[in-house]
Amino acid sequence: MANISKPSAERVLIYRLGSLGDAIVALPSLRVVAQAFPLAQRWMLTNLSDSAKTVPMAQVLENTGLIQGYIHYPPKLRDPITIAALSKRIRHIRPEIIIYLAEPRGRLRVLRDAMFFRMCGIKKFIGVPYIEKMQRPASMGNGNYEYEGARLVRCLQSLGSISLSDPSAFDLCLRLFEHAAAKVALNDLGISKPFIVASIGAKVDVKDWGDDNWASLISKLGRDLSDWGLVMIGSADERKRTSRLLRNWPGQSLNLCNHMNVREAAAVLSRARAYLGHDSGPMHLAAAVGTPCIAIFSSRNLPGEWFPPGDRHQILYRKVHCMGCRRSVCKDHNKMCIRSISVDEVFGHVMRTLEISLSPV
């Protein structure tokens, strides 16, 4: 990490909303902040959600030493009483600097946020993307766009830099007891052979490949990987759906949906030969622990923006005319982007990742 002239502070507030995937892509930026302010109390202003699909950032970042405390950002922050209460909570910790790591939301919202933090008594702002080029991923010149984690680091260039190709940038600092919990889950429930991990999780419908595709893929992989195990992870509301899909796997299988916390799931992923799933939090978690990903993307975001970094991963993405739509539901084109990805394509990518010759048709 190369640092340049930086301000000093005793208390720093970091603004980052989201859940599992948002926490993972922000890890390099959080390390930039920690290197720049090693002695400061680093607080995070983040949100909580009632959804069973989301994981609080505090749970993801536990034991990393990157954040010392959390302030929870209430949903739909419009009520004056709620705004005043949040401002009071922020004023109570007296941060001297705000580190702005929010997703791009448009210049007007950025200005509104800046006004709020100014009202909270914060005088120094770092990373606020006032100009358009700081809010949007840069074109990489190869048809793809800048990774969101790289954009965040770019916004913090006044604090220093970090190499996203260095595995330590995404280190979750898993503890021995978390690895032990993963080992117990795998051993006690019968997984002793090499295995892959899959997840059908997707926070929005447009990212979901569909059960018919998943059932066909699991059945096809099971025929060629009869000596392998299949472990599936996900949230509580995905457990029944996952159990139905696992009926298509002829070998050993394990449904860990809602069975362990996110850091224990990361330890399970670190033991897998590959990860298979949608553009989702578990995909980012797998990439963070160094597991090769076969990732099935819709074209909701621009190509590259949320791809797991590195060249170990296989990405299935269609560059269609409406890519980057940001929609949660596709009513106009019936999800033509992700639906056009075939079972055979995904199967081939899995087998190549595992370095196993394709069986004759």
Assess whether 192 and 325 both reside in one domain: yes
pLDDT tens across 178-228, in order?
A: 999 999 999 877 777 899 999 998 989 999 999 999 999 999 999 999 999
Q: What three-state secondary structure class fits 278?
A: strand
Residue 71: beta bridge partners? Answer: 45
For 79, the domain range is 11-166
- CA–CA separation, 204 vs 48, rounded Å? 17
Total domain count for the chain?
2
Contact 42, 14 (CB under 8 A): yes
pLDDT grade for 352, boundaries at 50, 70 and 90? very high
Chosen domain end from 166, 198, 217? 166
> 209's torsion region: left (phi>0), alpha (psi -120 to 50) or beta?
alpha
- Minimum mean pLDDT among 88-92, 191-195, 299-303, 316-320: which range? 191-195
- CA–CA separation, 296 vs 316, rounded Å? 5
Does 181 fall in a domain? yes
Does 361 fall in a domain? no
Chosen domain end from 146, 166, 186? 166
Q: What three-state secondary structure class fits 71?
A: strand
Helices (H) and strands (E) in the chain, counts: 13, 11
Q: What pLDDT sits at residue 357?
A: 43
Amino acid found at 288: A
Assess whether 245 and 201 both reside in one domain: yes
pLDDT tens across 8-44, in order?
A: 789 999 999 999 999 999 999 999 999 999 999 999 9
Q: What pLDDT sits at residue 5?
A: 58
Assess whether 147 and 198 both reside in one domain: no
CATH number for the domain spanning 330: value is 3.40.50.2000
Assess whether 115 and 229 both reside in one domain: no
Assess whether 160 and 221 both reside in one domain: no
Assess whether 184 and 147 both reside in one domain: no
Mean pLDDT (whole number) for 262-288: 97
Assess whether 84 and 212 both reside in one domain: no
Contact 224, 351 (CB under 8 A): yes
Mean pLDDT (whole number) for 225-238: 94
Burial readout 123-145 (b: 16 or more C-beta within 10 A, e: otherwise): eeebbbbeeeebbebeeeeeebb
Assess whether 155 and 180 both reside in one domain: no
Residue ranges in the chain assigned as alpha helix (H): 20-36, 57-61, 80-93, 107-119, 132-135, 148-155, 176-188, 211-224, 239-246, 262-271, 281-288, 336-339, 343-353
Mean pLDDT (whole number) for 131-151: 93
Does 171 fall in a domain? no
Does 248 fall in a domain? yes
Does 4 fall in a domain? no
Q: What pLDDT sits at residue 273?
A: 96
Assess whether 229 and 325 both reside in one domain: yes
* Dihedral sign of CA atoms 222, 231, 317, 351 in order: negative
Residues of the chain with pLDDT > 90: what percent? 82
Burial readout 279-317 (b: 16 or more C-beta within 10 A, e: otherwise): bbbbbbbbbbbebbbbbbbbbbbbbbbbbbbeeebbbbb
Q: What pLDDT sits at residue 191?
A: 79
Using the 8-state DSSP alphabet, how is residue 180 labeled? H
Q: What is the pTM of this model?
A: 0.93
Assess whether 104 and 215 both reside in one domain: no
Chosen domain end from 103, 132, 166? 166
Assess whether 154 and 246 both reside in one domain: no
Q: Among all chains, which residue has been given the structure tokens 């280190």?
A: 171
Mean pLDDT (whole number) for 101-122: 92
* Dihedral sign of CA atoms 131, 134, 136, 142 in order: positive
Does 288 fall in a domain? yes
Assess whether 118 and 31 both reside in one domain: yes
Does 185 fall in a domain? yes
Does 126 fall in a domain? yes
